[in-house]
Structure 1
Amino acid sequence: MLSRLLRTPVLLLAVCGWHLAQAQTAVVIGGNLRFDNDEVWQRIVDEAGGAGKARVAVLATASAAPEQSANAIVQVLQKHGASAEHIPVAPRLEGADLQKNLNDPALIAKIRGANAVFFSGGAQGLIVDTFQPGGKNTAMLDAIWDVYRRGGVVAGTSAGAAIMSRTMFRDALDVMGVMRGQMRDGHEIDRGLGFVTDRLFVDQHFLKRGRIGRMLPLMMAQGYRLGLGIEENSAAVIRGPSVDIIGARGALLVDLRSARTDPSLTMFNVQDARLSYLDNGDHYDLRSGQVTPEKRKTPLPEARIIRASHAVTSPVSTFQTDILGDNRIVQAMAELMTAPSGEVRAMAARVRPGATEPRDRTAFVFRLYRGEGTQGWFNSQGDADDITLLDVRLDVRPVPVPLAAPPRLAANNLTPVQQAPDGPGGSPSDTAATPR
């Protein structure tokens, strides 16, 4: 049973009093959802009643090209058996009267008559500003909530995923900026629409864009103890306490139940955060805190995992120069599973040319290490990247960057000693004008 079912340390439900509906379903998609990802599209339709019964209202409110985006979504949903319709409520919809359509009783009735609502990608601020201006629900948002509360589906990709939590990143493409303390209400962060339980924070484009660096500071600042960062072309299907990971890759589960900070450090820092990587086919139960890896996966032998009770005396065997690069956090977690030293260290050290302020020249050391409960699964008959990694420990602490060069860590300390250029994927791609 232990090879198939593991109790993770996330036991928040009994402690915090989770309130979870038993029927309503949120399909949180990490962005860049391909139209040939049949698993995710079909799951939306199935959760909404299946082929011939699913009625989906499509909202491209966040999109820069709403009509084009909505039409493509409608077509792919119809291909999978749904009856889908574009509800034309979008600030950037050419020739449309936004306020008239937003308050149109006929359009509101169409949403209320649906059993699923799909939010497209784009700019998440447009969704919140349109449906909840000044923090007050519009009649159309009330209709969406009616669909959800009676057991319907709310699905969203990219921007449509960002609005699922009670708090969201509004415009925080600079991950390092957030780590260095730039997290202003109404700018980097804002209120979300809160479709998932208010004790869970979700983020998107997560592994591709190294967004572990922005999730941790937000969770700590906002009092979250559980976060789920969903990768592109992948989804988390949250139905009551049940979370299924589906699609091309997976999601990172962040648990801060045991986390603490060092108050003597003036910048962001954390000790004893817990990370778990859940891949396609894995299941997580919010109520029990149990993870069930996909049935084809085999556990790594426990003899290969060094436990916290054993002293780690060998030098650090693995060091990465850019933990915020594409998928680097999961790569580091995977390397950790068999690292002789029992730990892996990495840096987040992107410094813009000409930066002179101490805050702008701060880097962060990521130390990943094994502890009691750390475990890994792999698919011995399939893709080598098809893995499940549970309960990896993480400490993060700030270090100053010398004016002359970005830092590189010595093996056994946290002192920046010499220059280490960004590795592959190390360019600050989060500043690009791409869907959030």
Structure 2
Amino acid sequence: MEEVKGKLIALGGGYDDGLIKLIHSKICSLTSRIEVIATAATEAEESGQAYKEAFEELGCHNVRFMRIDEEHEADIPDNLKRIKQADVIFFTGGDQVRLASFLNGSELLRILRKRYREEEIIVAGTSAGAAIMSDRMIYDGYGHYSLIKGEMKTTTGCSFIKKVFIDTHFAERGRFGRLAHAVAHDPDYIGIGLSEETGIIIKKGNQVEVFGPGVVTIIDASEVAFSNLREVEENEPIAVENLKMHLLVNGYRYCLKEHLFQPVAATATLIHVDNSAVPAKG
């Protein structure tokens, strides 16, 4: 995995005031240029304006809502100019397939990926906005049915990072099965399951650190000894031997390249976010 200068911040959904406070207090200054992209949301304009106001309430005065949808193309000159100047890009929740379909193939996304690799910018998102961050994303698979061959489905993400599946609302919606199935099918990928109100910061394209009150689940298939996925018929259950799992909380991290679980260095500043009494925004 290449070392990058930017940071990815992904939240598992639910109450997201903690993510907004994290961006405001730990990541950027009050003068940072923040672009909110709400394409995934059912009511995109309403959602985008709500997040814009949430940042402004914390004192961020340079926040704009970038509308990208059927009537507003991604690659208009004003959008490209703004994406070149932004310090933080924030993707809201909603439908990750919709979001990725409007961004993939665009000049805007090409510029944003290049800036993420080469500059110290922040790409943040919650729920769908977190799921699109890798080159592949899970978009279907429910409960125990997701452990049936053919029931778990993936598609192309936005490729800020590669060889990772990021799944959201993980514990709350019973998504262990589909993440386990995904990495068993593609064992060179690491699965990252984000509980609601809990998220990760990915530094240097490799170091996954946790923020928030909950648990992040890591599923690693790199040492799988046997899987019947290639031989079993559609609609049959899958079998996998030696699938590894780790549970991360605030103060611990996982290094993707090294497949290494470790505490954050004692000299580092641990991230703590108060998620109490906050409204859900998507």
Q: Answer whether TM exceeds 0.5 for this pair.
A: yes
Rounded Cα–Cα distance in structure 2 between residues aligned with 1:227 and 1:283: 14
* TM-score after normalising by structure 1: 0.55
Deviation at 1:148, TM superposition (A): 1.6
The equivalent of 2:80 in structure 1 is 108
1:221 matched to 2:199:
no
Kept in 1, the 8 Å contact 2:141–2:178? The answer is no
The equivalent of 2:273 in structure 1 is none
1:28 matched to 2:7:
no
Kept in 2, the 8 Å contact 1:45–1:54? The answer is no
CA RMSD of aligned residues (A): 2.3
Rounded Cα–Cα distance in structure 2 between residues aligned with 1:243 and 1:268: 29
Rounded Cα–Cα distance in structure 2 between residues aligned with 1:81 and 1:283: 30
Deviation at 1:56, TM superposition (A): 1.1
Rounded Cα–Cα distance in structure 2 between residues aligned with 1:178 and 1:230: 17
Higher relative contact order (Cα pairs below 8 Å, separated by 6+ residues): 2
**Secondary structure, counterpart of 2:29 in structure 1:** coil
Kept in 2, the 8 Å contact 1:120–1:157? The answer is yes
- The correspondence of residues 60-209 of structure 1 with structure 2, limited to 5 A, is 60-82=38-60, 83-91=62-70, 97-99=71-73, 102-132=74-104, 137-149=105-117, 150-170=119-139, 172-183=140-151, 188-196=153-161, 198-209=162-173
Query: Aligned residue pairs: how many?
Result: 258
Residue type at the aligned position of 1:111:
I
**Distance change in 2, residues 1:276/1:290 (3 Å):** closer
Rounded Cα–Cα distance in structure 2 between residues aligned with 1:79 and 1:237: 23
1:55 matched to 2:19:
no
The equivalent of 2:272 in structure 1 is none
* TM-score after normalising by structure 2: 0.83
Rounded Cα–Cα distance in structure 2 between residues aligned with 1:148 and 1:262: 36
1:242 matched to 2:207:
yes
Deviation at 1:146, TM superposition (A): 3.7
**Secondary structure, counterpart of 1:98 in structure 2:** coil
**Distance change in 2, residues 1:191/1:262 (3 Å):** closer
Rounded Cα–Cα distance in structure 1 between residues aligned with 2:103 and 2:132: 11
1:166-221 per-residue CA deviation (whole Å, 9 max, x = no partner) reads 11122x1523333111247xxx321111212x122211111111211001111122
Residue type at the aligned position of 1:24:
G
**Secondary structure, counterpart of 2:24 in structure 1:** helix
**Distance change in 2, residues 1:73/1:173 (3 Å):** farther
The equivalent of 1:291 in structure 2 is 262
Kept in 2, the 8 Å contact 1:201–1:224? The answer is no
**Percent of counterpart pairs with the same letter?**
23
**Distance change in 2, residues 1:284/1:223 (3 Å):** closer
Deviation at 1:262, TM superposition (A): 4.8
Kept in 2, the 8 Å contact 1:25–1:152? The answer is yes
Deviation at 1:270, TM superposition (A): 1.0
* Structure showing greater Rg: 1
Residue type at the aligned position of 1:72:
A
Deviation at 1:260, TM superposition (A): 2.5
